[in-house]
Amino acid sequence: MAIRDKMTASVSPYLQPGETLQCVIGAQTKSQYLILLGYLPFVLMNRYRIIAVTQWRMLVLDTGAFGMTKAKGVVAELPRAIRLGPGKGVWHVIPAGNEVLHVHRRFFKDMDWADSAAAPAA
């Protein structure tokens, strides 16, 4: 099963009735360069997140310190109008509530799709 499929299956319990999941985006809370200090400090400080984009909102879900496929709880709920991209470089930084999330380039196409599918501002 692909990573996006696992993330999608994990997100469904957090959706409201009638809400449709448009895409999922993997992220982490700490910079990948923190690993230069060692694996243990990185694991202790970093948390993985799923950004679940629906037609109404964006949910930021916690997945723990060891993987990004199993959602464990809601960290933040963001308005759907927020633009996520365009992604630049290998890692793109997104402010998400009280956190700063780092998104790897493999999810840039999902960010672009989420931005293009967002309803235009009235």
As a whole number of angstroms, the distance between CA 40 and CA 24 comes to 28
Single out the residue of 84, 78, 83, 87 nearest to residue 108, CA to CA.
Answer: 87
CA angle 39/99/8 to nearest 5° reads 80
User: Which pLDDT tens digit goes with each residue over 11-49?
Assistant: 999 998 988 899 999 999 988 877 777 788 788 888 999
Looking at residue 97, what is its pLDDT? Answer: 79
The mean per-residue pLDDT over the stretch 49-58 comes to: 92
Peptide bond preceding 86 in cis form (omega within 30 of 0): yes
Instruction: Please give the model's pTM, rounded to 2 decimal places.
Output: 0.86
| 65-78: pLDDT as tens digits | 888 889 999 998 98
Domains, the chain, with CATH or none: 3-10+21-117 (2.30.29)
